[in-house]
Structures are given as structure tokens and as C-alpha cells.
Amino acid sequence: MYKFIRRLLFLFPAEFSHHLGLKGLQVIYKLGLSSLLAAKSQDAPLQLLGLNFKNPVGLAAGLDKNADYLDALGSLGFGFIEVGTVTPKPQAGNPKPRLFRLAADHALINRMGFNNKGVEHLVSRLKKRRYQGIVGVNIGKNLSTPVSDAHKDYLLCLQRVYPYADYIVVNLSSPNTPGLRKLQFGEELDKLLSMLRQEQLDLQEKHQRHVPLLLKIAPDLKEQECQDIALALLTHNFDGVIATNTTIARDGLQDKAHVGQSGGLSGAPLLAQSSKIVHLLQRYLQGAIPIIAVGGIDSAETAKQKFRAGAKLVQVYTGFIYEGPALIENILAAQE
């Protein structure tokens, strides 16, 4: 059934298809027909981050930026769902077109620019959610906020979503917000992680619950940079790391129509570099904190590659667009 739906959606421009697909899924969910699409094998429970996951296959941030479709997506069999990236204030994101489908490469290029309805809207949706699975919230900064003041946006988002999230992800790795990625390095990273960790401790005391705090990093890192990030995560007692976001590289693409588009590349071409970062993190973290892998997962075998590299959980996004809920089922079946 999904192959027919995909064929229909791929007739339209990528961003229009994105919204059309989500709205269609919402209708199917409200009609009680989600079982027609949902993965059949859904249970492979594990405990990580102090949380109980139904299975190790999650949906990465970006598909449902505002938690508007959380219940419908949750009905498809994911072990966890990450919403966002959310910013303090609503913002429109970059001018359209800003999402491009590279079908020959099983890939996407996006330069969305953290388009979202703002943290207050997301919180209102989380308060109403029926989905009982694990929900992560991915937080970022507004475009209008100078990089020097980025910590203010991250702290505000952390404070607002803390009571409603199962875990929170600090996104410093999107290539579509100018200057954002430089926060991954040196003193700026150290300062930001220190402030966020202290705020996490304060919020834990206030709300009497520990909400794990994770960092999402880029794939376009040198080994020394990866080692430095691992050390910073350990120094500041972060709970975990997500590797990786999209890449600015364009190596080996077959689709020449969109290869020149700026933005982050996701999907199959990202697999090798993303897995390399997971492997490096595993080397330098030595299992001290868990790694969640995302990037290029479109089959059971590519998911296995992430687990072999050291990941404890995996997330899908572009592979899910191309393969549908059967991807969840195939990954879980291969774990049995």
C-alpha cells in the first residue's frame, strides 16, 4: 500500500508532498485505519537513558517539527519519536523551494531553516498527546538571535519543554542556520554545554524528574573535532549524543538536477560518513554514554551497520520517506 502512496506523493514537489503525506496520515489515524500502514513487528523492548523503549527504531527530528502529527506517526510502530527542531519564537524558515528530492540517490536536500510554529505551540501539542511512547524534543535557536546569544534560546526552550519531554536534544548541527555549527567547537561548545547542564540540574530539582539531555552533531567533522566533542560531553555529564545531522558534502550523487542546491543532504549518500562518526564516538566515549545513530538508514542491513559501529538506538527519516513503515518492520525482524 505504501508503494502506491509514495508513487502518488512523488508526483508533487517535495515540500508539498511532505505536508500532503502528513495530512493524509492524520486522516487515516482518525479513521482508525493506521493498522493498514503500521509495521507488523513492533516489540523489541530495551531500557536506555533511564527510559523504556518499545523498540530501538525511532523517527528523527524534522518530519514533525511542531508535534502536530505525533499521535498519527506514533501509530506506525516507532519505538520513539523526536519532534522539532523547535525555536523560542515561530519562524517561517528559508524561502521556497527549499526541499529537493533526489530519487536516483534515495536522498533529499533541504534548507528549511528551522521553520516551526514556536515552542509555545509545540508545548500545547505535547500536553494533548495520546501517544504513550517515548517522545524527544529537538531544540534550536531563532535565525534572528545572534550566535553570541544562542544560549538564551536554548535555555528558554529547555525550560519550556522540560516538563513534557522524555528526552531533549540540543541541535547545533543544522547547516541551514548561519553560524550555528561553530557552536560545536572549542570554548563556545564548552560554555553552552556547561550552562545547559546546570539548567538541567535546576529543572530536575524543580520538577522532580530527570529528563536526559543529548547533543546532535554534524557528519562533517574531522577526527580531532569528534574527539573534542566526545570529551566535552563527558566533561559536562551529558546523557547521550545523536550522530548525525545532514551533510554539506555532495560526493557521488547521480542526480545532477539538484546537486548544486545548498542545504543539508540526507539519505543513502550520508550512510558511510555518518557511520564513521558513530564509530569515532564509540572509540572516544567507550560506552560511557549512549549513541543514537541517524543518517542513511534505509534497510535492515544499513541499520545493522549503525549498531555494529556502536549505536544503541537508530532513527530514520529519509529512508522512511522512501520505504515507509515496512522499514521499521524489516529492521526489527533482523534484530530477532
Q: How many independent structural domains does the chain possess?
A: 1
Report the pLDDT value the prediction gives residue 282, as an integer from 0 to 100.
97
The pLDDT tens digits for 72-103 are 999 999 999 999 999 999 999 999 999 999 99
pLDDT, residue 177, reads: 87
247 cis-preceded (ω within 30 degrees of 0): no
Q: How confident is the model at residue 40 (pLDDT cuts 50, 70, 90)?
A: confident
Residue 42 has pLDDT above 70, yes or no: no
Report whether 298 contacts 319 (CB < 8 A). Answer: yes
What is the pTM assigned to this prediction? 0.96
Q: Within a 10 A sphere around the Cβ of 1, how many other Cβ atoms? A: 10
> What are the grid coordinates assigned to 146, written together?
545572534
Residue 334, pLDDT > 90, answer: no
**Is the pLDDT assigned to residue 1 strictly greater than 90?**
no
**Cβ atoms of residues 183 and 177 within 8 Å:** no
Query: Residue 170 forms beta bridges with which residues?
Result: 139, 215
The domain that holds 269 is classified in CATH as: 3.20.20.70
pLDDT at residue 149 tops 70:
yes
Does the pLDDT at position 236 exceed 80? yes
pLDDT of residue 175: 86
> Which one of 17, 173, 174, 266 is the catalytic residue?
174
194 classed as catalytic: no
Could you tell me the pLDDT band of residue 116, with boundaries at 50, 70 and 90?
A: very high
Residues 6+ apart with CB under 8 A from 111: 94, 98, 99, 175, 176, 261, 262, 263, 264
CB crowding 80-112: b at 16 or more within 10 Å, else e: bbbbbbbbbeebebbeeebbbbbeebbbbbbbb
Give pLDDT, residue 336: 57
Q: What is the pLDDT of residue 269?
A: 96
Mean pLDDT for all residues in the chain: 95
Host domain of residue 298: 2-335
| Spatial contact of 125 and 161, defined as CB atoms under 8 Å apart | no
Residue 58, φ and ψ in degrees, nearest 5: -115, 170
pLDDT class for 252, splitting at 50, 70, 90?
confident
What integer pLDDT is reported at residue 320 of this predicted model? 96
Model confidence band, residue 14 (pLDDT cutoffs 50, 70, 90): very high
CA–CA separation, 85 and 60 (whole Å):
10
Confidence tier at 192 by pLDDT (50, 70, 90): very high
For 256-310, write each residue's pLDDT tens digit.
889 899 999 999 999 999 999 999 999 999 999 999 999 999 999 999 999 999 9
